[in-house]
Amino acid sequence: MQQPQRWIRFERAGKTGFGTLEGRRVREHRGDMFAHPEPTGHAFSLEELRLLTPTQPTKVIALWNNFHALGEKLRLPVPAEPLYLLKAPNSFLAPGAPIRPPCCEGKVVFEGELGIVIGKTCTAVAESLALEHVFGYTCANDVTVADILNRDASFAQWARAKGFDTFCPMGPVVATGLDPSALTVTTLLDGAVRQHYPISDMRFSVQQLVSLISADMTLHPGDVILCGTSVGVGSMKPGSLVEVEIGGIGRLSNRFGQA
């Protein structure tokens, strides 16, 4: 397993950059984050940077019914294969940025999740080789307008319900060298723990997800697979602060309805 590092993208003085987060300082790198990046020799205080999404994905894939606990609570049938949707690029949101309320009415819910970040292009990769194509992991919030999903009996509106502007916060970093099966996702709403569940409860492992999804569509460096969520999903009110924390990665914080 590779040496653990926490990679971050940022804006400073009108220019974008990336580097490794070490305490409260970022060591700047150049080149390609996923292919032999080189240190520039510069380091910046975290306070002088504006954080960006940790990667620039061509797509974000979000899983449904991928945790035993939630599936059993909702009495969902066990899926034979991963069930997933795509989050629209306009939904991608940086750490600390506000989640905008949608123009339509409806209950807006948080879903704290682990994100798998792809590091090598892969098409139909074997399960035994899947982890070689994973760069690292990040935190995510799969925000959803729950009332829209099944409002029309003839068509489940997954893309719309989960695709509003700012509805996919990710970050603050991509952490490498982690064992995903040992991770736990904790989601806090205004400081109160609402979700606390182990990644080991997933129906499909990281290796299986990368292998099976790459058989459907090519995955590119920077693409993110959201592993799905578990019990404890709840609604947000204007002004609510939602934080998704995963040990070894950090805490993703975004406020709903306020700048």
Query: Structure tokens of 21?
Result: 């987060």
Beta bridge partners of 123: none
Same structural domain, 76 and 119:
yes
Exposed/middle/buried for residue 142 (C-beta within 10 Å: 0-12, 13-18, 19+) = buried
Q: What is the CATH number of the domain that holds 180?
A: 3.90.850.10
Same structural domain, 152 and 212:
yes
Residue of 106, 125, 62 lying closest to 235 (CA atoms):
106
pTM of the model: 0.96
What residue numbers bound the domain in which 177 lies?
Answer: 53-255
C-alpha to C-alpha distance for 112 and 140, rounded to whole angstroms: 6
Same structural domain, 99 and 227:
yes
Whether the CA torsion 230, 231, 236, 240 is positive or negative: it is negative
Same structural domain, 78 and 11:
no
Tokens 């991509």 — which residue? 174
Same structural domain, 151 and 44:
no
Per-residue confidence in pLDDT tens, the chain, 259 aa: 567 899 999 999 999 999 999 999 999 999 999 999 999 999 999 999 999 999 999 999 999 999 999 999 999 999 999 999 999 999 999 999 999 999 888 899 999 999 999 999 999 999 999 999 999 999 999 999 999 999 999 999 999 999 999 999 999 999 999 999 999 999 999 999 999 999 999 999 999 999 999 999 999 999 999 999 999 999 999 999 999 999 999 999 999 985 4
Residue where one domain finishes, among candidates 34, 52, 70: 52
Q: What is the CATH number of the domain that holds 47?
A: 2.30.30.370
C-alpha to C-alpha distance for 141 and 161, rounded to whole angstroms: 14
